[in-house]
Structure 1
Amino acid sequence: MRALLPLWLLLCALPPVQAAGLDPHYYPHRPGTRWTYTSGETQLVGAPVTHRGVGVVPVSHQYGGTTFSQDLLEYRADGSVWLRGVNAAGRLSWYAPPLLVYPAGPLRTGQTWQSASGGLSMTVRVTGTAPLKLPAGNFNTLILRSETVTGGNTSVQLSYFVPALGIVRYETADGSRIDLRR
């Protein structure tokens, strides 16, 4: 079984954004939304809940119907998405400050954002666009290059994002690919 993908890259769930001029569907958000990948992982958006006084939307990472971890995402009125915490192995890790997963959309080539919490820091850059033909269909994607530093170790991953759909491909530095199946 492949390792679970870190949620700050999955970034897939958003509750509706009410602020004027913002597209409430730019980042997928509906409870019950699911993505199934070629790795066998399914990501499932849950109903909004409150943790530590913060409204969050849980995104579960499952294999064979069993949840292995759950990301708690906060969706702010400006359209930005923040990782507030992760539930894994019965333990809640809470980020203070939270990690910026996505700035308010729309994303554009050349855009960069950074975030840090505790011993974790990440930098994400929209490097361009690419057409992809995948098991789930044909897509025009934005390419996000994420560099994460944890405990002195750096990892790089490319994510291929489709507005209103989410991440359709993950690609690691060694060239391994995980594609959206459905």
Structure 2
Amino acid sequence: MRSLLPLLFTALTVLPSAWAASLDPHYYPHRPGTRWTYSSGETQLVGAPVTHRGVTVVPLSHQFGSTTYSQDMLEYRPDGSVWLRGVNAAGRLSWYAAPLLVYPTGPLKPGQTWQSSTGTLRMTVTVTGVAPLKLAAGSFNALILRSETVTGGKASVQLSYFVPALGIVRYQTADGSTIDLQR
């Protein structure tokens, strides 16, 4: 019995803190009013939660200047995962029959992969590593997320650089150009 005490102590002290980290509501930021401005001129703005089809979603607006071009309807689940339920573009809400998993329950770690699909859209995301970045918005150690999206038989790959509690600080598009967080 004595040899089990260190193991029990570890389980009671380490596992709850790991579980709590995975449920951190700030790991994937979504507080209404949160704003990111990128070098492309795009601003992303988190709106107040709304209910569509019985599901509470948080709209993430994509804006250039004062014009909103689209909104991602994101569901933040109690387990900490983030799901794309639909997109509102040109005043028309396209609700997905099956939501897309944007982020699994955190914390993310290198080597982790997740897949999701809806209709003809398939997405595979892999955390490929960590990169130090110096940007106008600051210096970060960002997780590199490699996203492969296949729609209509055509594949594209994008890299996103994610910082927990802050969000995406860099996008690297399929053509290799980069879009950096400005503020």
4+ long deviations beyond 4 Å = none
d(CA) in 2 for partners of 1:107 and 1:66? 33
Correspondence 1:3-82 to 2 at 5 A: 21=20, 22-82=23-83
Q: Please name the residue that 2:93 is paired with.
A: 92
d(CA) in 2 for partners of 1:27 and 1:175? 25
Q: Deviations over 1:86-121 (max 9, x none)?
A: 000121111111000000000000000000000100
d(CA) in 2 for partners of 1:90 and 1:46? 16
d(CA) in 1 for partners of 2:56 and 2:25? 17
Could you say which structure has the higher helix fraction?
Answer: 2
Q: Please name the residue that 1:105 is paired with.
A: 106
Q: Please name the residue that 2:115 is paired with.
A: 114
Instruction: Give 1 or 2 for the bigger CA radius of gyration.
Output: 2
d(CA) in 1 for partners of 2:36 and 2:103? 18
d(CA) in 2 for partners of 1:173 and 1:101? 18
d(CA) in 1 for partners of 2:74 and 2:24? 18
Question: How many equivalent residue pairs?
Answer: 163
Cα RMSD after superposing both structures:
0.8
21-30 vs 113-122, greater mean Cα deviation: 21-30
1:46 alignment partner AA = G
TM-score when normalising by structure 2: 0.88
d(CA) in 1 for partners of 2:85 and 2:164? 22
SS of 1:108's equivalent?
Answer: coil
Correspondence 1:99-178 to 2 at 5 A: 99-178=100-179
Q: Deviations over 1:128-160 (max 9, x none)?
A: 000000111101100000000011110000000
1:157 alignment partner AA = Q
Structure 1 runs not aligned, ≥5 long: 1-19
1:150 alignment partner AA = T
Which one has more relative contact order, counting CA pairs under 8 Å at least 6 apart? 1
Aligned identity (percent) is: 83
TM-aligned CA deviation for residue 173 of structure 1: 2.6
d(CA) in 2 for partners of 1:94 and 1:173? 26
TM-aligned CA deviation for residue 175 of structure 1: 1.2
TM-score when normalising by structure 1: 0.88
